[in-house]
Each structure stands twice: as C-alpha cells, then as structure tokens.
Structure 1
Amino acid sequence: MRAIAREFLDSLAEDERAEAGGVLDDGGFREWKYNPGARPGLRIDALTGVQRELVYALLAAGMSPSGVTTLHSIMELEVPLKAIEKAIDHPRWPIRNPLAYYVRIFGDPTTDSAWAWRFNGHHVGVHFTVVGDEISATPQMFGANPRVHTAPDGSLVRTLAVEEDLGIGLMNDLSADQLVRAQLSADSPWDIASRNDPVVDIDFADRGIRYDELSGAQRDTVNAIIQLYLTRCADPLARQALREIEDAGRDAIRFSWAGPTGQIDNAMMIYYSVSGPTFLLEADRVNGNPNHIHTVWRDLRHDWGTDLLAEHYRTTARIGQLHD
C-alpha cells in the first residue's frame, strides 16, 4: 500500500500533489461526506490513465476483490442516475459522473511512519490510516441510487442487494416477542444514524435484541451480515476486525430494526443495524426515497486509526524526550 501511494505521488505535478495532499493531524482529516459534489482532494477524471490505475491499485491493496467490484458498481450508478434525473430536469443531473470521485493522501508515505488516504465521492467513503505495519480501514460507507434499475440489456440490477436481503430476512425470521425487542420504531430514520459524524454515539451498543436471545439460524444471519460488511476490505484487515468482535463477545451483539414489518416491498422505507462493543453496521433506505440506500461500517475503536495514532504520538513524544 505504501509503495503504491509513493508511486502515485511521484507521478503528480507539484500543483497536483498539493491538491491531493493533506495534514494528518488537522481537523480536516476526519471531515468527510458521501453526498455528491466537490470535496478536498484530486478528482480522478483529472488524472492520466496511468495515475488513475495507481489509484485503483491503492483501492485493491486495501479492499477485497468483491469490495472493489461493489465500489466500481456504485460509481457506475451515476450513469443511470443521470438519465433518471435528466428526464425530470432535476438540477443535479449535470454533475452526475462516474469519475467524480476524489483521492486524498494525508501525511507523507515516503517518509512518515503514520499516514492515511481516502477515496470519496457520491455514496463512497473509503478511509485507511496506516501506522507502521498496522492499518485501520474505517469509516467505510457504500450507498446506491438507484439501488434497483434496468440495465440497457433489459436485466434488473440490484446494488447492495445482499446487505438488504439479509437484514430483511432476519427481521422476518424473528418471532413476535423477538420483534418487540428488536424494533426501534415503526418509521425508519431519514438516514443512517451515524451519518458522517467523526465519532459514533456508543449508545448504539444498547439498542435492539441481543445475539444470545436469537436462535441458531438467526445468529447465522447476524454473522453473515457482519462477514459481508467487513470483508469489503482486504482479508488481513477483515480477519483482524472479526477477531476483535470475537474477543469482545458475540453475545453482546445486537440487531435493531426500524420501519414496517412483514412483507417488505420496494416502496417501503426500512432501516437496520448490527452493533457490538467494537463496531456498528447500518443500512437504511434514505431521504424518503425507497430506491436509495446507504450502508456503513464504523469501528468504535479504530475509526480514523485513532487508537493507533494516539500510541504513535505517545511513542514519538517519549523518543523526543530521550533526545532532549
């Protein structure tokens, strides 16, 4: 990952490098968004083909093959979304572009032991923080609009379908008594509750039905949801996150639901979360549009590499004191 980032930065002109760069320990490092529009960083349609392939190689270094495939499918949704919005003369249709995504590198991977990078744009938020040999892979956000559309060949395309189907399937598998404990509201929220907040509200850990109150088959579905979200990133990073979930105790994991129950169709607004002492996963049909979905993985310990950076700065300070 570090070598790819170095090669990418070396390929940039001085002004491009300034546009792509950021300072690791300033407030902007934790500021992010997943709505459309401009943001800090270097937009990838301004890159040469070789430079863009280096960005994609960086994504492949941090993400699994399935995660990269999903990310690119989300970017390509800008094409049908543009057609839908142009047909109704929506004011945003001119900005829809599958290359309107931005790469930004914080710190200097050529010299710094601690650095970070992100790939952001409409419905994509991929963040990696690197401290020595350790890597944080969150926050990680994937969304889709339209989540269901008809391809040019007439086939029906559903993006993030498994994320939706697992949550709906688990809700439908709950007994009436279990559903009372799982359901937060008959109405789904306007968006994922964690939004783009720099720090997640840990009260999520106390919402919904507990893992140890579920049947074996229901627990399998919870585990499948966790596996699906975490394995968007590269295998070593996913395995580390799964180990931490296991170490914290699966019985403390909770599943929550908001929205209607029973038979769910494409016109209904729904929300679910799976959370535990170390993580939060959310999925939500958003903004009053049931054909629009947001999903997110937040790590309650490692978002932005906060704990890794804190230890890095403590160690650096101790070394500095020894040299005084």
Structure 2
Amino acid sequence: MLSSTFRAASIATFLATAILVFSAGSLQAHDVAKEMSAAANLLLKTLDQDQAKAIQFEFDDKLRKDWQFIPMEREGLGMKAMKPHQRGLALSLVQTGLSHDGFSTAMQVMALEQVLHEMENGSLKRDPTKYHLFLFGTPADDATWGWRIEGHHLSVSFTIIDGQQVSAVPAFFGANPGSVPQGALKGLRVLAKEEDLGRKLIKNLSVKQKETAIISADAPNDVILGPGRDATPLKPAGIAAADMSDAQQKMLRELVEVYLGKVRGELADVDRQRIEDAGFENVFFAWAGKIAVGERHYYRIQGPTFIFEYDNTQDNANHVHVVWRDFTNDFGADWLKRHYEAVEHAK
C-alpha cells in the first residue's frame, strides 16, 4: 500500500527544495554551533584549574566515543563538583543542544535519581548531581570540537565540525522507574510518549500486519546498539512504512518525531531531511515481546540512515531505555570524514 506521499516530484521541484533545505539547515546549524561555543566558553571562564583539567580533553581522546549510561564513577566535570552558578552555566550549555522537550526530559531523568535514592533507602550511588560534562577539543566559532552530558540514564553527544555542522548522536535517555510508584512524583512517566505511541501503532496494525511487525515473542534484555557497539545497521525487520496505511504511516511519523524532537529544532530538521531523502517508505517498525502494559516489550524504528530503539524489560517492565544512533554520522563521522578530506586536499 504505497501512499501517494511517496510519489516522485518533478526533478526541478526536488532540486529547488533540496537547495532551500540545505541552505537553511546549514545556516541554522551554524547558529546553534555559535551558541554552543559561547556557552562552553562562558562556563570555562568560571572554572578553576582543577575543574578545567577535569572537563577538557583532546578532540581525538578515546573517551569521546566511550559513552555510558549506567551509574558509575566517571571522568569529566560533575555537577557535584561545581558551584551553584557554574551548574547554571553548565545547564545553559545543555540547553543549546536540546529542545524544550529534550531539556525537560533530561532534567526529569536526573530527578529520578532522587526517587531511586529514596526507594533504595538512601543509596549513595543515586544522586541527581552525579551528571558530568565533557569538552573535547577547544570550543570556538569556526572550530571542530565536541561535548557530552552524561550520567545514569542520560548520555547525549554533540560534535561540531568547522562551526558549521552539528551532530547530536548518539543520544540515550532512560527512566527508572518508568512509572514512579510512590512519593511526591508518583505517576511520573518520563518516557511516556515513546511507550504509548509505540503501543498505539502496534495495536493499530491488522492481524496480518502484526505477523510481519512482531519479530519475536520475547523482548531483548536491553537496546541492541548501546554503549560499546558501533552504529551498524541491524538486519531490516518488521513492517515497512510502505506497507502501512496512511493513518498508520501518520502514527509512525508521530513516533519518529518524538525521538527527533529531543534535540534543537534546527538540528532535528537536518536529520528529518536525511530520513526523507533516504525514503520514508524504507523505514521499518519492529516489535518484540508482549503488547499489554506491564509486560516485557521492545521496538525499533530503522531506516537506511538511522535507528531508534526502545526497551522496557527490566524491573517488571517498569524500566525504560531509548537510544538514537546514526549509521553514518554517529559522533559526526560522515561530516568529519569530509572535513579531513578537504583539509588534506587543501594541503
């Protein structure tokens, strides 16, 4: 059932649209890069020698790609080691990369550490201030550098190339508890839209469509392309958007927007266009596990350029992990390759 949405436009119209999107996207990403550089340098001005040493790394340091989301001791500069005004400036940097929804989600993920602290009788490993910032390279308006915010259930990496392009992947968010069972935040579901819209889509597929979309009776214990794994495409599985009705495609697009919508609109626009250019009809939705609320479940949305994964299997299916990876541009890999080729050519 290939929707008319996928009918080819004229070559002239396509080229005109592509030029407009590329130009607007580049200019907007450039503005975001400048904001990131300004925010990072403002924070750096307030740091003492030890703090500056903790937060700064060479751009090619192996830690740049060594992202994690578990509660652990980390390098980088922790919020706990910052003075109150420095924490404000650190969060100002975080705001330059995330949308309103993404920043709110990040703050709620941090708040869940207090919930766990109370649920686990004052466990010292649960602490809303144990989130760390990393700067890779030297932030400047025309520089190639990167930064990351990371802690338990939160890890988002940004790579800036020549001050012109900004990659916002890998991006990981988690929620434990998925639904807070008690206390002042009882009922809070930090990643509710990811769960509810995914379940809405699988439930709205026909019986025959479900036979294609459901790839396993049980869900994997976690997202597959997590830390330590390259962003390598998984074997396409599930049901393709091309085989969905218009209404189902609309649901799938709405779910895609939840993931893209975590980052700044200017950055999301670039990735959204890459998805469209590769053909939305080639995006697959795959489900594993049960459909009922409270049962172990997993789904993934995979296209030629990207994958979004959702897993809710731990703690009686009340512990959510979601991740966004890009097959060619994780950590800005594709743009960096072009950057280095241009530099070599210039020599």
Query: Under a length normalisation based on structure 1, what TM-score does the superposition of the two structures give?
Result: 0.92
2:344 to 304, 317, 324: 317
Structure 1 residue 113 and structure 2 residue 143: aligned? yes
* Alpha-carbon distance change, 111 to 253 in structure 1, aligned in 2, over 3 angstroms: closer
Aligned equivalents of 1:286, 1:106: Cα separation in 2: 34
Deviation at 1:289, TM superposition (A): 3.7
Instruction: Tell me the alpha carbon deviations over residues 163-209 of structure 1, each in whole angstroms, 9 at most, x when there is no partner.
Output: 100111111111111111111110000000111135222124x1111
Structure 1 segment 1-324 matched on structure 2, within 5 A? 1-86=36-121, 93-110=123-140, 113-132=143-162, 133-150=164-181, 152-153=183-184, 155-204=186-235, 206-261=236-291, 264-266=292-294, 268-287=295-314, 289-319=316-346, 321=347
**Matches of 2:228 and 2:240, distance apart in 1:** 25
Deviation per CA, 1:55-102: give whole Å up to 9, x if none.
111111111111100110010001111122228xxxxx2210011100
Give the secondary-structure state (helix, strand or coil) at the position aligned to 2:75. Answer: coil
Tell whether the 8 Å contact from 2:223 to 2:309 is kept in structure 1 after alignment: yes
- For 2:314 and 2:37, the matched residues in 1 are separated by 38
Mapped partners of 1:134, 1:260: distance in 2: 40
> Structure 1 CA distance, aligned partners of 2:332 and 2:77?
22
- Give, in angstroms, the shift of residue 228 of structure 1: 0.7
Letter in 2 for 1:8: L
> Is residue 30–residue 198 contact of structure 1 (8 Å, CA) maintained in 2?
no
How many Å apart are 1:300 and its aligned residue? 1.6
Distance in 1, Cα, partners of 2:140 & 2:190: 37
Q: Aligned letter for 2:68?
A: K
Could you tell me how far 1:30 is from its partner in structure 2? 0.6
Question: What count of residue pairs does the alignment treat as equivalent?
Answer: 311
Structure 1's 155 and 122: CA in aligned 2 closer, same or farther, altered over 3 A? closer
Deviations 1:137-180 (A, max 9, x none): 00000100011114645752112011100111111111111111
Mapped to 1, the partners of 2:276 and 2:168 lie a distance apart of 18
Partner-residue secondary structure (3-state), 1:94: coil
> Could you say what the CA RMSD is over the residues aligned between the two structures, in angstroms?
1.6
Cα distance change, pair 154–64 in 1 and its aligned pair in 2 (3 A): closer
Residue 90 of structure 1: aligned partner:
none
Give the percent of matched residue pairs that are identical in Structure 1 and Structure 2.
35
Amino acid of the structure 2 residue aligned with 1:223: R
Q: Which aligned segments of 4 or more residues in structure 1 are displaced greater than 3 angstroms?
A: 150-155, 286-289
| Residue ranges of structure 2 left out of the alignment (5+ in a row) | 1-35
Partner of 1:86, secondary structure, is coil
